[in-house]
Structure formats: C-alpha cells, structure tokens
Amino acid sequence: MKTVKFREIADNPTASLSGESAILLSLARTPLNAEISRETCASIREDVNWSDLIIVSHNHGVLPLLYKQLHSLGSTVVPQHILDYVKVRYCSNALANFYLAQELLQLLNLFQSNQVAAIPYKGPVLAVSAYGSLSLRQFLDLDILVDWRDYDRSKKLLLSDGFQLSADCEWESHFISSSGGYCLDLHQGLTPRIFPYSIEFSNLWQRRSKMVLCGEPVPTLSDEDSLLILCVQVAKDTWEKRSRLAKVCDLAQFLHEHPGLNWEWLLTEATRIGARGTLSFALTLAHDLLGIPIPAEISVRVGHDRSIASLVAQARNEFIVQLRARASDSCRPVSISEQARFHSQLRERFRDKLPYHLEPLRRFLERLFIPNARDHSFLSLPEALHCLYGLIRPLRLVYDYLLHPLAQALRLSHRTNHQGE
C-alpha cells in the first residue's frame, strides 16, 4: 500500500508553536533528519528556557527521548550541564524500567505456572517493540491482559502472591505490589464499557508473537494488533482530554520500527470491530504532529471525512494547549456532551455510538439504585438481606433530599409562627 509524503511542518497548524514547545515537538520525531536538526539547533541557540523544556517533556512522558535527541546534537549545541542533568534523569528512568521488566518476567512465570494465558502490553514490551530499548520510554506500572474467563482466578493469584487490590473497575483491576514498589493493572478488556472496542482475547492469543525481554522470550501482541491498540489508546486519551505526546510518539515510533505491517488486514479488522475511524484519526494525528508517513488510503479517507478531519484539528489544538502548559494537571474537565460528540464523530456504526448516548441514563440509574455506605448506615440489615439495599437506596434519597428538608422547613415555619404570637 502506498504511503503519503511527509507534510512540511510549515503546512501544519503546529507551526504556530514557538520556543520550548516547538523544540520538544521537533525532538520527539525519530529519526531526527538533517533538516529538522538544523532548525532545532537554530532554535536552541536562541533563548531556551531549559527548565520549562525539561518539565514539559517529563509531563508528556518523553524525557528519555529528549535526552537521546539532545545527546545526538552534542555539547556544542546543548550546554554540558543540561546534558549531564538530563542524563541523570535518563539513567534513573532506565534503572526503574529494568526493575519493572524483571518484575514482569516473574509475573508471567506466575501466570504460566498456573495455566493462565497472559499477554503483557504497554510498559516494557512497548518500549522494546517501538523504541528498541527499555530506556527510551517512561512508564510507572505494568499492564497484563487475560481472558475474561480467567479474570477472577488471576486476581486471586495476585492476591495470594502478596499484591494488594487498590481499585476494581469493570474492565481492569489495579494492584499494588507487596513491596509497594509498583502498580499492576490487570485487564480483562482493552477499554472501558463506555469506549467499547471488542477484540476477543482468544483471537489476540492466537495471533500473538514473541519477543525477547531481558534475555527471556515473552508473549506479546502481533504487530497489527499492537498498532490497532495504540490507535485506540491515542483516541481514548484524546476523548478524556488527557493528551500526552508520549502516546503519539509510541504510535509514530512503532510505525517507523515496523514497516512491514499488513495494512490490508489492518483496515479489514478495523472495519470489523468498528475502529476504522479510530485508526484514521490516530494515524493522521501522528502524521500531522510528527511527520510520520501513513497509508494513502487513510489520507484520502480523512480528506473526504469532515468529521475525522475536524477531530484531528481539535486534537492538534489540544496538544498545542498542553505543550504550552507547564503544569502536569493542566487538563480541563470534559463534559458528557463533549465526550458524546467526540464518540459520535469517531465511530462509524450506530451500535458503537449508542452506548455513549445511553451513558447519562446509565449513570442516573446507577446513582439511584446502587447502594453505598450511607445506605448501610441509614438502615442496618443482616447480611442475608443486603440485596434489599438496592430498593432502600431510592427511599433513603427521597428521605434525605425531600422529606427531611421538608420536615425541617415545616418545623422552622412552625417555630417562627409561634414566636410571632
């Protein structure tokens, strides 16, 4: 399948970036070609706020990549004390990543010895697969995907191995290691219910490949499945307004490292699971931000699909805001209506759009009928009758928000009338 040429950065809305933001976006491109190197060197020789550049690169998860690129430019361009400082951060990240990779190998042995099929993704395996090195990606936790039929058994295995359950969601569980040194996310799905992409684990397992991690063979997603999931992750973060340059860099670098992808199969599979718009969106965003070549069919599709083109433009603007922001918590809250619009434009099938439009109703019913600690304190029931709390909760809400305030108002009115007499 043909690929489109790089679009010049001047033709891209990100050309409006200046200073540290423009430098970071240029340095996030791999490999760093001669033209970009000259432009970046010229920018660096001007007045660079190194503190801001380092903080923003860390917040966007690309500090190791920044070090690699600055090191390639050399001390004639970058002050030596800056290189030394970023190198320390780079080495610290590399040691932490090596530790997590070793922990991952132990976890995979635990699952294998208990006949649980498990596929690691993101984290160490993505670092090696996309960047060819554990040290070039920032990650703080581990992610393992299992079949939904093995999900409960896998949680029990982790608990028996000393892990502590910190949070339990419908599609993943968050664990803390016995030492407290890292977090593990155990997945039975790739996305939450509200952002559905149905990819059967059995198919992923059947198509899996192997890679070498710290000298040990480990199962990993096929290249095509990895790319699809990277595109979903980019779209999911954009949907949640948690745009980080690292996710787009992962996608761009993965494309660079895996030129032999089966694009015909990818487009067919993306269509089957209702993710063709997601694939087009993420690839076009990576092309626009980092200049990565994409299949001509994707470029043509986006050119003819105003919805996808509009979403890409919005995402670019969001990245510009995030790149200019110094604080890590600069993401603004996202309203349900914003999420619904994004979802409707991104997905091509009605059945994929529908869950999100029903989400406000689901949340209302959940708040109405799912009991919490206040319901238990409102009326104490024996454990055998706990199933009744779902019926007691609406009654408690009526009492708390209608009957109790009304009774207080009547008492106050009666007291006022009595004092007036």
Q: 16: domain CATH number? A: 3.30.460.40
| Domain that residue 391 falls in | 370-420
**Residue with more model confidence, 362 or 138:** 138
Residue 378 pLDDT greater than 90, yes or no: no
263 with 383, same domain?
A: no
293 with 409, same domain?
A: no
**Residue with more model confidence, 397 or 38:** 397
- Tell me whether residue 239 is exposed, middle or buried, using C-beta atoms within 10 angstroms of its C-beta: 0 to 12, 13 to 18, 19 or more: buried
380 with 352, same domain?
A: no
Write down the pLDDT at residue 4.
43
Classify residue 361: in a domain, yes or no: no
333 pLDDT band (50/70/90 cuts)? low
Tell me the average pLDDT across 276-292: 90
Sort strands 209-213 and 216-220 into parallel, antiparallel or unpaired.
Answer: antiparallel
322 with 392, same domain?
A: no
243 with 385, same domain?
A: no
Write down the pLDDT at residue 37.
65
The percent of residues above 90 in pLDDT, for the chain, comes to: 40
155 with 63, same domain?
A: yes
338 with 389, same domain?
A: no
Q: For residues 288 and 302, what is the distance between their CA atoms, to the nearest angstrom?
A: 12
Could you give phi then psi for residue 292, rounded to 5 degrees?
A: -75, 135
Classify residue 365: in a domain, yes or no: no
349 with 379, same domain?
A: no
95 with 225, same domain?
A: yes
84 with 164, same domain?
A: yes
Residue 29's nearest CA partner among 62, 76, 75 is 62
What total of structural domains would you count in the chain? 2
Write down the pLDDT at residue 19.
75
Q: For residues 335 and 275, what is the distance between their CA atoms, to the nearest angstrom?
A: 23
Classify residue 184: in a domain, yes or no: yes
Classify residue 331: in a domain, yes or no: yes
349 with 377, same domain?
A: no
